[in-house]
Structure 1
Amino acid sequence: MRTLKLPSALLAGLSLALSSTAVLATPPTPFTATYQVSQAGESMGQATITLKSLGNGVYEYSNQTQGTSGLAAALGANSSDVSRFRWNNDAPETVTYKSKVNAFKVKQRAMQVNWTTKQVSVDDGKGPSTYAAQPGLIDRNVLSLAIGLALSKGSQSMTFPVGVKQQVEQQQFKVQGTEAVQVPAGSFHAERVARTDSDKHFEAWYVPKQFAVPVKLAQSDGGDLTFQLIHYSSP
């Protein structure tokens, strides 16, 4: 992710609640990143994450994971997370989010944000939940990208309004330091970011001057998964 210094007056429109002073960045550059995915230390497959522009300030951010080894391959396990967000006030704001996980059974979730009425609707097949949207609201899929964009602007601690099933969570993250990380894509000195407002394990290692997304991510949400970067390309 390339970072450009723009006039400081533009900072007034920043919608993400960041606790440190940030340098404004241009809209994100489209990219494709592939990851090696493991669960509880066992290889399970690959993930492909793509960002593409749909025009008029709208982007599609997709995470497609395929089980290619072990039990995941035997079950034909796969997942798809597709978000569309608008670039508003120099930050992403979710418009729609669709998630589908196919393993033992199929689980689906759909989120839609009506920015005219400022209402969020979430449906996981058990009936929709509706609640008020907040400026800068993102979904759980866009979160890792939003963290990378914030880091590229110099942020060290940050808070994001994340839409979950029945409410908006103010999720907090902080840079814990710089560490050497070895992943299939190479060796990097990366900024380690951890979630600080929850006991749910989330750690991600970013190299924000090179990549918009982490080179490594480990989280308990979704089944003790670890993602390690294999390849990253952008126009």
Structure 2
Amino acid sequence: MLCLLFVATAPVSAADRPAPFTATYRVLQAGQTIGEATITLKAVGADVWEYSNQSRGTAGLAAAMGASSSETTRLRWRGAMPETVSYDYRMDAAIKSKHRHTDVDWKAQKVSVDDGKGPMNYPSAPGLVDRNLLPFALGLALRAGQKDITLPVAVKREVEQQHYRVTGEEDVSVPAGHFKALRLERVDTDRAYVAWYVPARYPVPVRLSQKGDGDLELQLQGYRQP
């Protein structure tokens, strides 16, 4: 879909990078709590970091089916923004399981996606992120003062240019507290994605609502740094 010249990763000092953190969320569906999620950012090497999202069902059908999911992104830094190096997704439940692995070969400018049926390949793009890393990348863009954000996102068969815009400021109450938050919406699709950020305090949303993928909502419960 895209054929772009390779752009070398710009050097970035440790001071420019977000500090490692762990954020915990309450997961709701139709207003009812069904689970919990833990998001963690940590360094795993000199130039490689890991951003993971572990969730599990704690109530209702999600708990009865033993539902859990794991998303792990290995990333590098391009300036002050993250770029995906690899992404692993796994969902397990009593009746089925799913898995997907994505690799980004930055030298060859190629993305490879394999969900167990053989790899699909397509060209990469500078600044590429995956769906797991996306909310974090949006938070960093907001922290840098952006209000109209376009990010290349690796999906199953192509790089998708996704567009997000700050549409206002709202009062938000979640288990972690009461905040004056920026409301960020995806504006290039009918699939509703709305997230509320307090970028001066957190690089991840305090609340996130996504329709069409289980109609789930995440609400921040806690945030800590080592």
The alignment's TM-score, normalised by the length of structure 1, stands at 0.88
State the AA in 1 paired with 2:172. Answer: V
**Superposed counterparts of 1:21-100, under 5 Å:** 26-100=16-90
Deviation for aligned residue 1:68: 0.6
Deviation for aligned residue 1:204: 0.3
Which residue matches 1:159? 150
Change (3 A) 1:80 1:221: farther
**CA separation in 1, counterparts of 2:117 and 2:102?**
13
Deviations 1:39-63 (A, max 9, x none): 1222111000000011322110000
**Superposed counterparts of 1:138-157, under 5 Å:** 138-157=129-148
**CA separation in 1, counterparts of 2:9 and 2:200?**
20
**CA separation in 2, counterparts of 1:221 and 1:209?**
30
SS of 1:144's partner is helix
The answer on whether the counterparts of 2:75 and 2:82 sit within 8 Å (CA) in structure 1 is yes
Match of 1:171 among 145, 157, 162: 162
Give every structure 1 segment of 4 or more consecutive aligned residues whose post-TM-superposition deviation is greater than 2 Å: none
Change (3 A) 1:58 1:14: closer
Matched, 1:129 2:85: no
Identity of aligned residues (%): 53
**CA separation in 2, counterparts of 1:110 and 1:59?**
17
Which residue matches 1:202? 193
SS of 1:148's partner is helix
**CA separation in 2, counterparts of 1:170 and 1:64?**
26
Matched, 1:113 2:104: yes
**CA separation in 2, counterparts of 1:171 and 1:77?**
29
RCO higher in 1 or 2 (8 Å CA, sep ≥ 6)? 1
State the AA in 2 paired with 1:141. Answer: N
How many residues are matched?
Answer: 214
Matched, 1:181 2:195: no
Change (3 A) 1:221 1:99: farther
Aligned residues: CA RMSD: 1.5
State the AA in 1 paired with 2:130. Answer: D
SS of 1:147's partner is helix
Deviation for aligned residue 1:89: 2.7
Change (3 A) 1:14 1:220: farther
Deviation for aligned residue 1:26: 1.2
The answer on whether the counterparts of 1:14 and 1:91 sit within 8 Å (CA) in structure 2 is no
SS of 1:171's partner is strand
State the AA in 1 paired with 2:63. Answer: A
**CA separation in 1, counterparts of 2:47 and 2:165?**
28
State the AA in 1 paired with 2:70. Answer: S
List runs of 5+ in structure 2 lacking aligned partners.
1-7
Deviation for aligned residue 1:14: 9.2
State the AA in 1 paired with 2:205. Answer: P
Deviation for aligned residue 1:90: 2.5
Match of 2:217 among 197, 207, 226: 226
SS of 1:218's partner is strand
